[in-house]
Structure 1
Amino acid sequence: MSTACVDRLHAIREEYAIAGILLAVMVVASLFILGWLPVVRPATWTAFSLGIPGIDALEAELPIPRDWGLAFAGFPALFDAFWGATCGTFDTWLVCSGFLQRGFTAGILIGITAPIVGSYLVNRQMALIGEALAHTAFGGVAIGLFVGSAVPRLDYPLLFALVAAAIAALGMQYVAVKTDGYADIPIAIMLTGGFALGVAVISYGVVFSATVESYLFGDILFVPFENVQLMVGLTLLVLSTVAITHKQLLLITFDREAARLARINVWFYDTLLIVLTALVVVAAMQVLGAILVAGMLVIPVAAAMQVTDSFNGGLVASIVLGQVAVFGGIFLSYYLNVATGATIILVAIGTYVVAVVTTS
């Protein structure tokens, strides 16, 4: 067998191995997030009937989680231990209040995952894709709220948002490849279409304006604990996936032709990056809102690019600047009594301006 054939077989084997690992990680992480692992107690399950006339005997007991309590067996204890120690040390309302503790935790997680994924997007000049997926996820939230109002056991708007954003991500990739159109065409279609879908569903008849407003503009101070757990799961999924595929993502970001010559499946990793973006967008949605969520994907990365020429250095710097934006935004919003999500983005813009001025 020729050397070229052997190299090709090794490349195919490596791609299948990576794809298998990613699939296993995503499946396990999804089960972990949803609480569908065997460690979940049957007492926490909800009966779910197939509802097919004439065959009621086929009713099944499915692990549909209602309290998410055992989805992360160690996280609640870790959360309580960390914030208990922090509250005991500083003894101030800012770190002892339960809703602020949840808000800080959610913000820290978003300040990590968004700049990591955003680093690849910005360097590929795909900054607007986060905005398009956020608007599509908003459409998914509207559908989830609508379905949940009719079927309470399916009241998981963020999961509907996750499905909608993932479908939109794959749809944008398909349109861009199959139509040979400019990359901004599918982005523009999804950006306007997703938001239009959300408005159409909301206007259909079910009134949940307060809930919709929290997803549209963000409400970090009222993030439920189960949504914090969802963010933990998505963060673990994003970090593990990026750690496994960093070399491939880096190559397709800066030299796509070299990636093809190296027999890397460029389409697969393009799709993977867009799906990861969808996960981050959904995780950040209730913190920053659909309108502002793209800011954390782009602004800390843009600021980091002003202070370092290294991709890995910029990755670390963007995470640090993301944390500055989160903490600065939360504290300023508390003292100024203004919207937290908007303040986080304004602080992030402030760091970008400072970076530009100090390095010019």
Structure 2
Amino acid sequence: MLPFTQPGGFVSEMLGYPFMQRAFVAGVCIAIVAPLVGSFLVHRQLAMIGDTLAHTAFAGVAVGIFLGNLLATDVSPYLTALVVAVLAALLIQILSEYTDVYNDVSMAVVLAGGFALGTVLISLTSGGIAVSINQYLFGSLSTLTRGDVELLVVLSALVVAAVLLSYRKLVYVTFDESAARIAGIDVRLLNRLLVVLTAMVVVGAMQMMGVILVAAMLVVPVAAATQLAGSFKQSVAYAVVAAQVAVLSGTTLSYAYGIAAGGTIVLVAIAVYLGAAVAGRLGVVGGG
């Protein structure tokens, strides 16, 4: 019998498992903060920073596992990933501000360095780390703990609060950085805030999406929203809706058919993007 033959029974069964309850809470949080921050990144042509920070977060995970093995104690890989990702985000911004390299060059340098550090730490540790690292590379529903979800909820609340408090200034800097400087806005501070928020989102989403696919949630829902929206605020709202559809549908399909959650979510998000692109072409939804 197909999983959706009896929808009510299927939903009750799915939500009866604590790990699925945690997965949906985590997914909803990711689908709010990823497009919220991603909207600023995409409009500033910084879409690849998510991928960069995901790879440096991988180094942070490796640091946590390495220290845990070395000290024979519990070290949260997600906390070390958060620290390393935030430091990497600030390094990217500082390289852009104080050197002659462009943003894409500084991101490439940090990405390569972060992933290289991660692989070196893995090679220095016993073979067991190679097995445990897979959940961080590809994400997992079943390994999401209550502590992981609580950390994600806290990070999400901080990200949403920071964006709401600085929304007008972030929009100003996003669309006209030079005018923002003239207006007396601390552009450097806001740029650093944006990359730190991105690092927080990446680490939070990495628990479910994995390092390989986490950056997609910063970009694909926003790309879908831009096909239909007529204003930036509308684009943010549409992006959050698109992300919610992708996460909720992808998580459900993952459970129903026993397939990878992160990959399924991204494929649904891409389908939403293609649908939005067609709808935009046909004028089905008009921006206002």
TM-score, scaled to structure 2 = 0.92
Equivalent residue, structure 2, for 1:45: none
Q: 1:209 Cα deviation (Å)? A: 2.5
Q: Is the 8 A contact 2:50 2:198 kept in 1?
A: yes
Contact kept in structure 1, 2:66 and 2:125, CA below 8 Å: no
Aligned equivalent of 1:329:
250
Report how far residue 221 of structure 1 moved: 3.2
1:298 alignment partner AA: V
Residues 335-350 of structure 1 aligned to structure 2 (within 5 Å): 335-350=256-271
Aligned residue number for residue 207 of structure 2: 286
- Residue 118 of structure 1, aligned match among 29, 38, 46: 38
Task: Determine helix, strand or coil for the equivalent of 2:101.
Answer: coil
2:56 corresponds to 1:136: yes
Paired with 2:50 and 2:26, the residues of 1 have a C-alpha distance of: 18
Could you tell me whether the CA contact under 8 Å between 1:302 and 1:352 is conserved in 2?
yes
The Cα of 1:338 is off from its aligned counterpart by: 1.3
Determine the C-alpha separation between the residues in 2 that align with 1:169 and 1:267.
13
From 87, 95, 112, give the equivalent of 1:167.
87
Q: How far apart are residue 90 of structure 1 and its match?
A: 8.4
Is contact 1:103-1:222 (8 Å) kept?
no
Compared CA separation, residues 264 and 199, structure 1 to 2 (3 A): same
Say which SS state the counterpart of residue 243 (structure 2) adopts: helix
Which of the residues 144, 147, 151 maps onto 1:223? 144
C-alpha distance in 2, partners of 1:102/1:335?
A: 16
> Which residue identity lines up with residue 257 of structure 1 in the other structure?
S
Code of the residue aligned with 1:134 in structure 2: it is A
Confirm or deny: 8 A CA contact 2:32 2:244 kept in the other structure: yes
Structure number with greater CO (CA < 8 Å, separation at least 6) is: 2
In structure 2, relative to structure 1, the CA distance for the partners of 1:177 and 1:356 (3 Å cut) is: same
Q: Aligned to 2:231, which of 310, 316, 322?
A: 310
Identity of aligned residues (%): 47
Taking the aligned partners of 1:152 and 1:243, their CA distance within structure 2 comes to: 42
Distance in 2 of aligned mates of 1:91 and 1:217: 25
Given that 1:95 and 1:101 are in contact with CA atoms closer than 8 Å, whether structure 2 keeps it comes out as yes
**Deviation sequence 1:177-216 (CA, Å, 0-9, x none):** 1112211001111112111111111111232233200000
Q: Give 1:248's aligned residue.
A: 169
Match of 1:151 in 2: 71
CA deviation map 1:83-113 (0-9, x unaligned) = xxxxx99871111111100111111110111
- Superposition pairs of residues 193-212 of structure 1, within 5 angstroms: 193-206=113-126, 207-212=128-133
AA at the equivalent of 1:299: V
Please say if 1:214 is aligned against 2:124. no
Moved over 3 A (4+): 88-91
Alignment-mate amino acid for residue 80 of structure 2? F
- Residues 162-189 of structure 1 show CA distances to partners (whole Å, capped at 9, x for unaligned) of 1100110110011111112211001111
CA RMSD, Structure 1 to Structure 2 (Å): 1.5
Q: What is the CA–CA distance in structure 2 between the aligned matches of 1:239 and 1:172, rounded to whole Å? A: 23
Q: 2:215 & 2:137 partners in 1: Cα distance?
A: 13
- Amino acid in the other structure paired with 2:94: Y
Determine which of 172, 175, 179 is the counterpart of 1:258. 179
Do the aligned partners of 1:113 and 1:235 also contact (CA within 8 Å) in 2? yes
TM-score, structure 1 normalization: 0.74
1-structure distance, mates of 2:150, 2:125:
31
Match of 2:198 in 1: 277
Contact 1:332 / 1:343 at 8 angstroms: preserved in 2? yes
- How far 1:149 moved relative to its partner? 1.8
In 2, are the aligned partners of 1:102 and 1:221 still within 8 Å (CA)? no
Residue 153 of structure 1: CA displacement? 4.1
Matched AA of 1:171: L
Please say if residues 169 and 185 of structure 2, whose CA atoms lie closer than 8 Å, have aligned partners that are also in contact: yes
Q: Secondary structure at the match of 1:359?
A: helix
d(CA) in 1 for partners of 2:149, 2:11: 23
User: Structure 2: which 5+ residue stretches go unaligned?
Assistant: 1-7, 282-288
Match in the other structure for 1:54: none
Query: Could you tell me which residue of structure 2 aligns to residue 106 of structure 1?
Result: 26
Q: Which has the larger displacement, 115-124 or 210-219? A: 210-219
Name the CA distance, whole Å, in 1 between partners of 2:19 and 2:146. 9
Pairing partner for 1:183 from 103, 109, 125? 103
The one-letter amino acid paired with 2:64 is: G
Between the aligned partners of 1:186 and 1:139, the Cα distance in structure 2 is 17
